[in-house]
Chain A
Amino acid sequence: MIKSRPIYEPFRIDPAGRAHLIVTDLSALPEDIGELEFSNIELWVVHVVAPGIQAQDSAPRAFRAVADLLATLAVRLRREQVGFRLYAVGTEPFLWDVHNAARAAGLGKGEILLTHAGSLKRRVYCTHCKTMNEDVTTSIVKCRACNANLFVRDHFSRRLAAFMGVAVDAEVPGEIPAAEVLYP
């Protein structure tokens, strides 16, 4: 496996932490995580709430969109104190968006735990026009900006929180293999 391909850990609460925040881009935690038996744990989920229906006040706190969750998270992290642990559970682009927000707030090794769950869909960075292509499930994807047919590599950039996409037909323009669904 390519070195940059991240390896994720199974979910666990770090008992050394004083306060814990779990964020997920799913509507609930995956079933295999089960009951959380520690105190001082907060859970944020992303839940599209139909208009007119009030989001629940009680835990978990529900956000309408991932972007809302990330914006609130950045504000929250500025207030938190050392001893805090952040857990991201969900799809890969989400994990790394959370990771990068956490790094910007000063969290480091031992304070962030990433657990992959849900879809294997990838965020793909077009190395030709620098556009991000979201929700990619196939081995080859057409860049939404420059229309290049991108081969989705396993090489992952933590800085960009994305996989690299390079033109698959650079050698022989127009020779494009069939795309397969590899990342459902």
Chain B
Amino acid sequence: MIARIANILALSTSIKRIALVAADGAALPTAAAGAHVLLHIPGPRRVWKNAYSLVSAPDERSKYEIIVRRVENSRGGSAWLHDHAAIGQDIEISLPANLFPIARTAQKHLLLSAGIGITPFLAYLPVLQAGAENFEWHHCCKQADAPAFAALLPSGRDITLHTSRNTLDLEKLLGRQKLNTHLYVCGPAEFMDVAVATAQKLGWPAAKIHKESFGGATGGAPFTVKLAKSNIMVEVGPEESLLEALEAAGLNPPCLCRGGACGECELPVLEGVPEHHDHFLSAQKRAANSAIMTCVSRAKTILVLDF
């Protein structure tokens, strides 16, 4: 659908809050807490489809709000939103999808976020507060970003902002949770890896660890894929993902989150060795090299895909 940029607010030199309304003025579809939309961002040679979590309240139908960090060495998406997006401009967006919902069976919610990973939890907050639910939220950020995040975080004894690694003892925090607690993690890959590994070490079952990460597709060495069904070869450049290369070749491969989390874009691998970067495939499937998540994973060899 076509959205119109209704407002742009600079939260810091590298973080902007952008409000989108429906271009035709209609009410927007509701989006449960944790949902994201894909923005179709125009680039010089191609369109970027980037996912952004909605930070507006889930029942807000007059606008969708997102918060965008300007990524260093941005391939185009966040730089365009920071440098070229203007109020009144129209932009295509997807319908909201939610891969990071609040677990309704949890009796306590433990939220861990870092940096721009704050965004889905900003949409959780009104829901958890309205339901008087038991939650604890720890947000980590660099000292330089602290003022911007402090302004976004309401004060409360359930919410802590950490600007140093020393103040958050993950092992202690994750080791003392009751059995009815669910864990939610969102942030940069290194942060998520540490949090999830610590939880697993302490015996957290996978069903109680909920995670979301965006911006997994960072490029890498170029490689070639052969598509067995379409019978074509596709070159994947250093600055594009396999999914993006397939789309650029005029194909319509399945995809949803574009961040290696949802599993929608899985394609069977007939030959070759993928370099897995996703959070979806099981260890067995990963080792078997029989499937690849096209949105984030790459390859060091020529791949033959059943597509």
A contact residues vs B (CB 8 Å cutoff) = 16-19, 77-78, 80-85, 105-111
Instruction: Please give me the residue from chain A that is nearest to B183 by CB atom.
Output: A82
Question: Which residues on B sit within 8 Å (CB–CB) of A106?
Answer: 105-107, 178-181
Q: What separation, in Å, do the CA atoms of A78 and B179 have in the docked complex?
A: 7
Question: Which residues on A sit within 8 Å (CB–CB) of B202?
Answer: 18, 82-83
Question: Which residues on A sit within 8 Å (CB–CB) of B106?
Answer: 106
The secondary structure that dominates the A interface is: loop
Asked whether B89 is an interface residue with its Cβ less than 8 Å from the other chain, the reply is no
A110 touching B181, Cβ below 8 Å: no
Instruction: Please give me the residue from chain A that is nearest to B203 by CB atom.
Output: A83
B contact residues vs A (CB 8 Å cutoff) = 105-107, 174-181, 200, 202-208
B179's partner among A16, A82, A109 (CB-CB below 8 A) is A82
Instruction: Please give me the residue from chain B that is nearest to A103 by CB atom.
Output: B105
User: What distance in Å separates the Cβ of B93 from its nearest Cβ neighbour in chain A?
Assistant: 34
User: What distance in Å separates the Cβ of B268 from its nearest Cβ neighbour in chain A?
Assistant: 27
A85 touching B178, Cβ below 8 Å: no
Question: Which residues on A sit within 8 Å (CB–CB) of B175?
Answer: 81-83
- Given A106-B105, A108-B105, does the pair A80, B203 have CB atoms closer than 8 Å? no
Total cross-chain contacts (CB, 8 A): 57
Q: What separation, in Å, do the CA atoms of A18 and B176 have in the docked complex?
A: 12
Instruction: Please give me the residue from chain B that is nearest to A20 by CB atom.
Output: B203
A81 touching B207, Cβ below 8 Å: no
B178 touching A83, Cβ below 8 Å: no
Q: What separation, in Å, do the CA atoms of A110 and B182 have in the docked complex?
A: 13
B206 touching A111, Cβ below 8 Å: no
Question: Which residues on A sit within 8 Å (CB–CB) of B205?
Answer: 16, 108-111
B105 touching A82, Cβ below 8 Å: no
B204 touching A82, Cβ below 8 Å: yes
Q: What separation, in Å, do the CA atoms of A110 and B209 have in the docked complex?
A: 12
Question: Which residues on A sit within 8 Å (CB–CB) of B177?
Answer: 81-82
A111 touching B200, Cβ below 8 Å: no
Q: What separation, in Å, do the CA atoms of A161 and B200 have in the docked complex?
A: 31
User: What distance in Å separates the Cβ of A158 from its nearest Cβ neighbour in chain B?
Assistant: 14
Question: Which residues on B sit within 8 Å (CB–CB) of A109?
Answer: 205-207
User: What distance in Å separates the Cβ of A18 from its nearest Cβ neighbour in chain B?
Assistant: 4
Question: Which residues on A sit within 8 Å (CB–CB) of B174?
Answer: 82
Q: Which of B107, B180, B181, B207 has the most CB of A within 10 A?
A: B180
Question: Which residues on B sit within 8 Å (CB–CB) of A107?
Answer: 179
- Given A16-B200, A18-B202, A82-B202, does the pair A110, B207 have CB atoms closer than 8 Å? yes
